[in-house]
Copies of this chain bind each other. A is one copy, B any other.
Amino acid sequence: MHKEILENIGEKELINRLRKFMPKNQISDDCALIKTKKDNLLVNNDSLVENVHFNDISICPQDLGWKAVVSNISDLLSSGSKKTIGITISLILPAKTEWIWVEELYKGINKALKEYGGIILGGDCSKGNEKIISITAFGLQGELELRRNACKPGEIILTTGIHGLSKLGFMMQNKINFNNNVFLNEKLISKSIKHFCRPQVYPNFLKHLLKTRSNKKIKRIGCTDSSDGLFQAVQDLAIASNCKAIINYEKIPKDKDWPKGDKWDEYYFFGGEDYELVFSLPKKWANNLCKIDKNINKIGFFASGKPSIEFKEKSKNKLLQKSPFKHF
């Protein structure tokens, strides 16, 4: 027991064990929550580690700065943040790092903040053997609490945008060869690289949700982001909300040039870093929302049952055995 190492525990089990050290009344979600007299603050931290989450070949420092901010804001939005207050930046950098690299990183950080709101509140820098960018972002909790554990059987599962593009962009940037000699459209390639290097988020999401709410009594919605892939997002919702997700493969929104085949389905469902929002709503609300926001699609529904995912199209269920997740 004492010699048990993290590699053999796995990330999800590790997080479960760490949660036992937290007080029981703390939310365990995309963000931490700080209650003050008037406002509730959402807090999120994301660390990007060189050679684990990025490398100098696949992403330039300005894009990395942008992406580090966006990955944090995505978590704030997926918890219902109505405004990004700001961020603190903790850098760990080798002594041989060039100043221009740091300057470019900060330029990217400030570009993302200019686009999505928020300021740099503070930061520090320490020496280390590998580059690490750790950003803590602060948001203001809006009227709707978006939480992983708030999905209900009968609700429609929805997602913003399309998935898999960031994974393709990552492979392109790292010059990873494709086993299958598939033809990739130039437009798809450049769009994918943009998705990987400069991902976008949806600051209007909360506004659209509030505008289309059919029942004002509903204050909590099941939601997370797809930073670890669409499959992982749906699974996290199913587990936290204790229900079963039925995904309609035919309804999954794909890029019109996205190739067909199992490998490409895998990239789509398990790719990660797309920072799309994955959530569930009562049917009427879901319909209203899709009418005013063409970027949002219905992809399935939640049912009563043991936390799990299955496809409506039974033949597709083999995909679900392919989970490539192994962060440790």
Contacts and interface: CB of A to CB of B under 8 A. Distances in A.
Contacts of A33: 121
A288 interface: no
A102 interface: yes
Nearest to A40: B36
Contacts of A51: 129
Contacts of A17: 99, 102-103
A127 B95 contact: no
Contacts of A103: 17
Interface stretch (A3-11, A217-225, A300-308): A3-11
A221 to B, nearest CB: 20
A56 interface: no
B106 A5 contact: no
A40 B96 CA distance: 38
Instruction: Name, among A3, A36, A49, the residue most crowded by chain B CB atoms within 10 Å (CB to CB).
Output: A36
A134 B47 contact: yes
Given A52-B128, A86-B34, A6 B138 contact: no
B327 A126 contact: yes
Given A26-B119, A52-B127, A121-B26, A36 B43 contact: no
How many copies of this chain sit in the oligomeric assembly?
A: 2
A97 interface: yes
B99 A5 contact: yes
Main secondary structure on A side of the interface with B: mixed
A178 interface: no
A38 to B, nearest CB: 4
B49 A99 contact: no
A264 interface: no
A88 interface: yes
20 contacts: A1-B100, A2-B98, A4-B100, A5-B96, A6-B96, A6-B98, A6-B102, A22-B123, A26-B120, A26-B121, A32-B86, A34-B41, A34-B121, A36-B37, A45-B90, A45-B124, A45-B134, A47-B126, A127-B327, A128-B132
Interface of A: 1-7, 9, 11, 14-15, 17-18, 21-23, 26-29, 31-34, 36-39, 41, 43, 45-47, 49, 51-53, 85-86, 88-90, 92-100, 102-103, 106, 109-110, 119-130, 132, 134, 136, 138, 327-328
